[in-house]
Amino acid sequence: MLITHDTRCALDTVVDLVNTAPEDDTTPDGLPDVAALTDFVENHEVSDVGLLSEFDLSAVRKIRGRFASVFAAPDARIAAGLINELVAAAGTTPRLTDHDGYDWHVHYFAPGASVADHLAADCGMALAFFVVAGEQERLRRCEAPDCRRAFVDLSRNRSRRYCDSRTCGNRLHVAAYRARRKEAAG
């Protein structure tokens, strides 16, 4: 599957956005305030965004939950419906642009759109490309029992199971190894 630079950036952004949500009542929100949202927007180089407010923070948190539902969707039909709702609500207006040293690419948000609409449109379209390509199952949640972080499986054979093989994957492999050693010693 060919993934353009702007689609890859949007995928990274939506994954990071979904992963800012608290996993439970004991986990802090990764977007606790407008300053954190501003940092998120700057770190992900989200273009054409003005001064952010509490309204923007609330709207981004709402779409974050809707994006999380896409990653939890059991099949392509449900994922497509969720993505269609996100993109339609954002008032998508595709347009070609070349800015900040990047070659021609498509922005899906309307000029002057709020940050939430911008994210819903661009990130929603990036996820839509996966559904259209028959690759919705690549939109996953980590299989580690104590982690439910979102990720996009870009492995060649669709075999990635953990958000990060160095942390979640390695931790589970070490635990399984120790359990086997303990059982063998037994």
pLDDT at residue number 21: 96
Three-state DSSP state, 95: strand
Query: What pTM did the predictor assign?
Result: 0.86
φ, ψ for residue 150, nearest 5 deg: -80, 150
Residue 10: exposure state from Cβ atoms within 10 A (0-12, 13-18, ≥19)? buried
Q: CA–CA separation, 185 vs 162, rounded Å?
A: 29
- Assigned token pair, 171: 């931790």
pLDDT at residue number 47: 85
pLDDT at residue number 110: 83
pLDDT at residue number 48: 84
What is the mean pLDDT, run by run of 10 residues, along the chain of 186 residues? 84 97 90 97 91 97 97 95 94 84 83 92 94 93 89 91 77 67 76
Average confidence score pLDDT of the chain? 89
- Assigned token pair, 32: 């606790």
pLDDT at residue number 141: 93
**Dihedral angle of Cα 138, 12, 109, 117, to the nearest 10 degrees:** 90
Give, in degrees to the nearest 5, the angle at Cα 164 between 129 and 29: 80
Q: CA–CA separation, 168 vs 35, rounded Å?
A: 29
Three-state DSSP state, 39: helix
